Structure 1
Amino acid sequence: MVAKNSEARKCSNTNRASIENNREGNIDMKSVAKLSQNENAIVAPVTFNFHGDHDVRIKVIDGEPWFCLADAASILAIKNVSQLSSQLDNKGISKTYTLTDGGKQQLIFVNEPNLYRVIFRSNKPDAKQFQDWVFNVVLPAIRKTGRYEHPIIRENEFTAKDMRNLTHIIRLMTGNFNYNASWSAGVWYCLRKATGVKSPGKFCASDIPVIADECRRIAGITGLLHRFMFDVETEMIKRVVRHGEDVGPFLEEMRQKFLDVLREEQSGSLALREFEELPINKFQHRIN
């Protein structure tokens, strides 16, 4: 009995130490792997961040990274996680109790082959970027040193509210396009390029002015395109569809109009409309 109590205390102390390391930002993946072999151990997973607003929880089982299926499905816009898991290789599925913000919960984790099966099922433009991110960022980070070091947290870092406001701006700019996911990915790429913050690093408060200026530049482009597309559709319905005007000359006229508007935009004479400028100002000045 004494031996069992001693062993239990040892496991509990090791578990607490692992969680404390997680809070500090450095997670020893080998230690987590040892705990994962104990079916009674409950370990907080390592969390990677994809595109600034998607967390992916990862556990190490028998020395290999396993990915939270719900997190991957959320990124890939797959809704029915239970149905999805039934279509995967059962040997690559693990239902494990995990420490979350809500306490102890049972989550489904899948191995690397099953993760790729999930990615291949998605038609979302982000699927290829997610696959590249897993292959080029996540796996090397875990396998190179046996541990994952969280990106260094800079002072005065982005708050959750900052990220929500920025995400809202991007949705306003890109949400009405047919290929809105590709537009959104392109905007995130531009913002990271402008600030020099590579994924999965996080923005900080000092990046906000640069991000706001870049959002204004992009909003000018998307707003211009939205207005032009609206004018083309309206005029085409009126003149070509209803009144039978020849489509060739009509399209040439629209092309010339677009070039005229583009020249105005390049000269800086076109300003953002109020509803485009307002959310950017709120984001930049952190207004409630």
Structure 2
Amino acid sequence: MEVSRRLKVAPEAVRTWRRRFLDRGLDGLPDEPRPGVPRQITDADVERGIVKTLEEKPANPTHWSTRSMAAATGMSQSAISRIWRTSALAPHRCETFKLSTDPLFIDKVRDVVGLYLDPPEKALVLCLDEKSQIQALDRSQPVLPIMPGVPERRSHDYVRAGTTNLFAALEVATGKVIGSLHRRHRAAGFRNFLTKLDKEVPADLDVHLILHNYATHKTPAIKKWLLAHPRFHLHFTPTGSSWLNLVERWFGELTSKKLRRGVHRSVQALERDIRTWLADWNEHPRPFVWTKTADEILDKVAAYCQRISDSRH
């Protein structure tokens, strides 16, 4: 019992090893052969499967499947599946990416990320964008509700009832959102939204707006408005880098939890649902916390560029 307590093992295990030592001496201490079928896939086979997956393509399809890799290597389909699973390989999956070609990419990343991680005092940081052409869609047939063992089902076709556009400004510190709906997609809508922000943001605060590098954000009318409202400061994300604007995360929440599975027979019903969603969100806002530094982002982009350069050789 003293050995069991000191080694923190079960007394039965201590008795088993003591008995094996008394019967066979040191020869009784190594593990005995375990039951089961002997291993048929060697380490060399595993390495061969991984290397072939990473460095070769099949003759006709665009990517390997477990069946085609099994045929090419002479191993079983289940063995290939286990090798891929333990090596975190998934040839059937493919994700997209886009690298910005903005010549001021580095400066803009440092500017925007600096506002996220170290916002200025006596100022409000807002992420602003427009979600345009939001469609009011009505399904051609009634939606079948969820049942045990059966998910909710809806017809793949729909009837369009019109569109609306949503300007939204996400307050980085609190997660609150200021929104405005309008039917027409025009440049004047952005100026009207700026006026709305000017009325709702306390007058003693500067306003730093993070927004995309669209031409409508730089028109003469906008420049004139900004000169008349010097507390507003515009910070542009790099071209093709919408991921840097946190309001896109909020648009994703709106889309997945309200719009994608919504049924709206009119634009009025669609706008009513969006306003309700916005009001509910602002009752219990949840900020999206930015954690990556500018250096971490730029290092990752540099690594992508290096991989692209290497893949061309």
| Range class of TM-score, shorter chain | under 0.3
If you compute each CA radius of gyration, which structure gives the higher value, 1 or 2?
Answer: 2
Greater RCO, CA 8 A, separation 6+: 2
Whose helix fraction is larger, Structure 1's or Structure 2's? Answer: 1
- Output the TM-score relative to the length of structure 1: 0.23
